[in-house]
Amino acid sequence: MTRLFGTDGVRGKANIDLTAELALDLSVAAAHILGEAGAFSGHRPLAIVGRDPRASGEFLQAAVLAGLASAGVDVIKASVIPTPAVAYLVNSRNADLGVMISASHNPMPDNGIKFFSRGGVKLDDFIEDAIEERMGEDWKRPIGADVGRVRYDGGAIEEYVAHLVSSLTESSLAGLKVVIDCANGAAYQTGPAAFAAQGADVTVINGEPDGLNINDQAGSTHINVLQAKVVEVGADLGIALDGDADRCLAVDHEGNVIDGDQILAILAIALKEQHKLHSDTVVATVMSNLGLSIAMNEHGIKVDKTKVGDRYVLESMNANGFALGGEQSGHVILSEYANTGDGVLTGLHLAERMRST
């Protein structure tokens, strides 16, 4: 049997591979498995559920909400927000579980489901295996007051944006002209709002999702669009997000691409200068460019290399207390502020570095 869970949750063609029935079954099983594993803090567990703007996200989110509530989990429906926002809210609101419905940079017909446990961290492999093995089990069903309740929270975006802005040490990005390509994705509100809150002069492209246009000739997988816009408007910096905004690439004022390895190098040097780069080490993968290692060596910074995948980067960071890690694809983790890749957070810190130099 093919394993449902991949390196980043469950993904497939929406309504063919990833159906409403599967989304419901996954959610019910996840709630029970995590409960049995002692991952819930009390008898009324709480979940945060968000999605990207894909049309299929509406019915899949409804199925996830139904599954969790039927398993006795209270649910906050956060609507369209980035993947790292769900992870942050799980942690900040002391929730027991998070679910993000997104296929990230994949084409619009695809969708996916990603689970987070307490603290906003991805599920361990053995938990994912248990969920798969026991899907469809005849679970004991709560009744009466024990069923979960669902409520909508319109304040999630503002809370997340405030968190992003609070991570910056510089008081302002005033005078910095930034173009943000939101990929018609989950950060179409949070990305521009965070940069504008810091005073940046923001130009937004691909910031009008309609459920069908996510990643369509837009975002980090089509960075040529951003390159052209940065040059056209004379911007200082361009930020390209993907569909769920867990990664970003950048473009300088001349339209040159700044990839994930280059972003890591820039942020590592900045953190070292601030005495915030633990053990003077940055975490990258075996796919990182040799130039990263050379540049870091010139600045007295070590590079710890892991297997490909942001989960392995995070494992090394958590095990060793490292502050910064990421991949060439633009998944960058700043562990002081997040425990998953966050494209908007990364872009803000890149802009802050540019503003201060």
| Distance between CA atoms of residues 294 and 275, nearest Å | 21
Sequence-distant contacts of 138-147: CB under 8 A, at least 24 apart: 139/28, 139/29, 139/32, 139/71, 141/70, 142/70, 142/71, 142/72, 146/72, 147/69, 147/70, 147/72
pLDDT (tens digit per residue) in 97-131:
999 999 999 999 999 999 999 999 999 989 999 99
Only one residue has tokens 């993904």, namely: 11
Q: What angle do CA 7, 325, 221 make, to 5 degrees?
A: 60
In this predicted model, what pLDDT tens digit does every residue of 50-74 receive, in sequence order? Answer: 999 999 999 999 999 999 999 999 9
> Which residues face 183 on adjacent strands?
none
Q: Do domains 5-154 and 260-329 have the same CATH topology?
A: yes
Q: List C-alpha distances in Å: 291 to 4, 122, 140, 305, 329.
A: 36, 30, 56, 14, 15
Of residues 27, 56, 102, 104, which has the active-site annotation? 104
Q: What is the mean pLDDT of the chain?
A: 95
CATH of 260-329, one of 3.40.640.10, 3.30.365.10, 3.20.20.10, 3.40.120.10: 3.40.120.10
Q: What is the pTM of this model?
A: 0.95
Q: How far apart are the first and last CA of the chain?
A: 54
Q: What is the rounded distance in angstroms from the CA atom of residue 98 to the CA atom of residue 120? A: 7
C-beta separation of 236 from 176 below 8 A: yes
pLDDT digits (tens, 9 = 90+) for 208-231: 999 999 999 999 999 999 999 999
pLDDT at 170: 73
Per-residue pLDDT of 174-213, as tens digits, reads 999 999 999 999 999 999 999 999 999 999 999 999 999 9
Task: Please confirm, yes or no, whether 104 is among the known catalytic residues.
Answer: yes
pLDDT of residue 314: 92
**pLDDT computed for residue 200 by the predictor:** 97
Residue ranges of the domains in the chain?
5-154, 260-329
Question: Could you tell me the pLDDT band of residue 154, with boundaries at 50, 70 and 90?
Answer: confident
* CA gap 197, 61 in Å, rounded: 30
Q: Which CATH number fits domain 5-154: 3.30.1450.10, 3.30.300.30, 3.40.120.10, 3.60.21.10?
A: 3.40.120.10
